[in-house]
Structure 1
Amino acid sequence: MRKIIIDCDPGIDDALAIMLAANSPELDILAITTVSGNVPSDMGAANARKVLKQLGRMDIPIYIGEEVPLREEYIDARDTHGMDGLGESFFPEVEGEYEKKNAVDFLTELLEREKISIIALGPMTNLAKVFSRKPELIANVEEMVSMGGSFKSHGNCSPVAEYNYWCDPDAAAVVYDLFAKAGSKIHMIGLDVTREIVLTPNRLEYMCRLDPEMGEFIRKITGFYMDFHWEQEGIIGCVINDPLAVAYFIDRSMCDGFDSFTVVATDGVCRGQTVVDSMNFWKKEPNSRILTETDSERFFAFFMERVLRKNDGSRWKKDEFKLLHEL
């Protein structure tokens, strides 16, 4: 098992990513850390707890992280994710105490003790604070997968920027710069690949037929998301970005791409844009792996096999999803 931290801002697609990670035996989830992004960090923690209760995984600790970006005014994405961050499903709050330690302190102390991997699904504010204080800790990051940015795809909150990096561009810029100086790479799961992962009404209905309980939970949190995507992008369904980062972390063949040196713009109309030097103009060592290709049908088979259950509690197998290629 690989020891991981999920740093996230739940968020509908973060919730789906947690569902996938928590049902993947390859992963030892040491903790979930939250950061303000789609929703404020404390609301994200509450949402993570709701998902963990649904999964029966209340053993995973949750640490609340940074409330505001490094420099920019904080602008959430509740227009996309609903006022509760889970599609206005308004599930009841789950009682219990959160970990008392701040996420930044927890991550710092953990990385001082051992090597771990990080799946970053939100703005990089927590991570920027950790690595700015102690850049030597990057050596203890076995792998960093970040859902954020874009290469050739248009943005989702500006013409050029993806929300996670746009929300706190300074944090993303700091982390990419520090990883470059450390000779390490960030695996960037950007909009070029995540836009291929569309949960359509037919795919959702199929999930509900295969596993009514989990399918209905997914239906409740994604309905608002589907309405948003229709109104904003004319998509029938919703793009679920974050679970692809988890799937790729587990199975590298889920996406393909290339290595490149990348910087993140922090100001002006290009705020949050990932500037990918794919032509090697700057002659710098790559600090990123830019993913550009994926297979949506394969992803959904992977997701469904792990998250959904039969009536007897056993897992479905990929070869049993006979209708998936038609949806």
Structure 2
Amino acid sequence: MKKLIIDVDTGVDDAQAIMVALADPDVTVLGITCCFGNTPLQNVLKNTLRVLKVCNRLDIPVFRGCGKPLLAHKRHAGDYHGKDGLGDCPDPDAPGLELLQKKKAVTAMIKLAKQNPGEVTLVATAPLTNLAVAVQLDPSFPERLKALYIMGGNTDSRGNTTVCGEFNFVADPEAAYVVLDRYTCPTYIAPWEFSCRNSLPWSFCEKWLSQKTEKAAFMKNITNFTFQKAQSAEYDKETTEGKGFNSCDTYAMAAAIDDTFITESDEVAVTVELEGTYTRGMMVLDYMKMLDKKHKAFVMKNVDLEKLKKMFMNSLK
């Protein structure tokens, strides 16, 4: 049984990643911690509870995390996920925020890792602010983790938020720097360009959403806005080159769930640029070994898409 903590900024792809995890019988989600990102924190909290409701899993504890970056200017991704993060299709019967845990996200992360030393896999699909604060409060926190899976960063200086920067890292570059510097547990990164090259065909997405279930109806509703954006001429070349839908966060989740999902990766030391005019927030890969860092991350290059498709199909059954 895999024990997960999921750190999210619940937009459409976070919702997909959460639902994939909840559908796997060999996964236990110990808690979901929330951070600003795709949408303001209040929306992230509401969206997370909405996803758990449709999955009939409101028993999973949800924790309020950081509402702004360590130093950077706050930014969101409403142009792609909708202003509310879930396609601007509100649910009048959505769960209320009184269901949130009183304990804050960072405190909860640290406590859950202490209770399950060496057993917890942390899946981070949001800006890394909660993780950076956690290691500052408890420097031994990363040592108790089994592994860390991150969706974020980029490898080919191809941005989706700035010229050279991926959203999660650009949203809080200092936090990304701290995490990549101080988390020495096994670390796996699903970067932006990699996910673009492994998009899900539109024909599969149609089949995926055509399942006659409440979960499929929910997913079809929240993805409509994002699908239209992804299929528009504005996004085709910058994202998936017109091939299909890029559910960025779900690649990190799939890798955390199935050890065989990653078929090719580079093991390399990584860091984040904090200053450049065009490159602030860009992930730096040290192939020349000039950073003198002992800890290296596994940067995903290729995955088994058929396994991802099965996970997606099962998530809406």
Match of residue 307 from structure 1 = 315
Where 1:252 maps in the other structure, the secondary structure is coil
Shift of 1:281: 3.6
User: Pairwise mapping of residues 10-29 of structure 1 onto structure 2 (< 5 A)?
Assistant: 10-29=10-29
Partner of residue 161 from structure 2, selected from 157, 160, 184: 157
Where 2:121 maps in the other structure, the secondary structure is strand
TM-score under structure 1 length normalisation: 0.88
Any runs of at least 4 consecutive aligned residues in structure 1 with deviations exceeding 6 A, and if so which?
none
Where 1:170 maps in the other structure, the secondary structure is helix
Match of residue 121 from structure 1 = 125
Partner of residue 140 from structure 2, selected from 114, 119, 136: 136
Bigger RCO of structures 1 and 2 (CA < 8 A, at least 6 apart): 2
For 1:91 and 1:285, how far apart are their aligned partners in 2? 48
Match of residue 40 from structure 2 = 40
Identity, in percent, stands at 31
User: Pairwise mapping of residues 167-206 of structure 1 onto structure 2 (< 5 A)?
Assistant: 167-179=171-183, 183-206=184-207
8 Å Cα contact 1:33/1:65 also seen in 2: yes
8 Å Cα contact 2:3/2:30 also seen in 1: yes
8 Å Cα contact 1:225/1:238 also seen in 2: no
8 Å Cα contact 2:2/2:28 also seen in 1: yes
Mind listing any 5+ residue stretches in structure 1 that lack a counterpart? 310-327
**Deviations 1:178-231, CA, capped at 9 Å, x for gaps:** 12xxx4332111123311343444222212333343322221111111222224
1:277 and 2:267 equivalent? no
1:264 and 2:272 equivalent? yes
1:243 and 2:250 equivalent? yes
8 Å Cα contact 1:184/1:287 also seen in 2: no
8 Å Cα contact 1:196/1:296 also seen in 2: no
Match of residue 239 from structure 2 = none
1:90 and 2:90 equivalent? yes
TM-score under structure 2 length normalisation: 0.90
Shift of 1:11: 0.5
8 Å Cα contact 1:5/1:32 also seen in 2: yes
8 Å Cα contact 1:29/1:60 also seen in 2: yes
Match of residue 290 from structure 1 = 299
8 Å Cα contact 1:260/1:288 also seen in 2: yes
Shift of 1:40: 1.6
Where 2:122 maps in the other structure, the secondary structure is strand
Match of residue 75 from structure 1 = 75
**Deviations 1:138-157, CA, capped at 9 Å, x for gaps:** 11011100111111261211
8 Å Cα contact 1:259/1:287 also seen in 2: yes
Where 1:29 maps in the other structure, the secondary structure is strand
Match of residue 227 from structure 2 = 226
8 Å Cα contact 1:7/1:34 also seen in 2: yes
Match of residue 2 from structure 1 = 2
What amino acid sits opposite 1:267 in the alignment? E
How many residues are paired up? 305
Is 293-302 or 262-271 further displaced after alignment? 293-302
For 1:161 and 1:38, how far apart are their aligned partners in 2? 15
8 Å Cα contact 1:123/1:164 also seen in 2: yes
User: Pairwise mapping of residues 92-107 of structure 1 onto structure 2 (< 5 A)?
Assistant: 92=92, 93-95=94-96, 96-107=98-109
Is 153-162 or 168-177 further displaced after alignment? 153-162
**Alignment CA distance shift 1:233-1:94 (3 Å):** same
8 Å Cα contact 1:196/1:294 also seen in 2: no
RMSD: 1.8
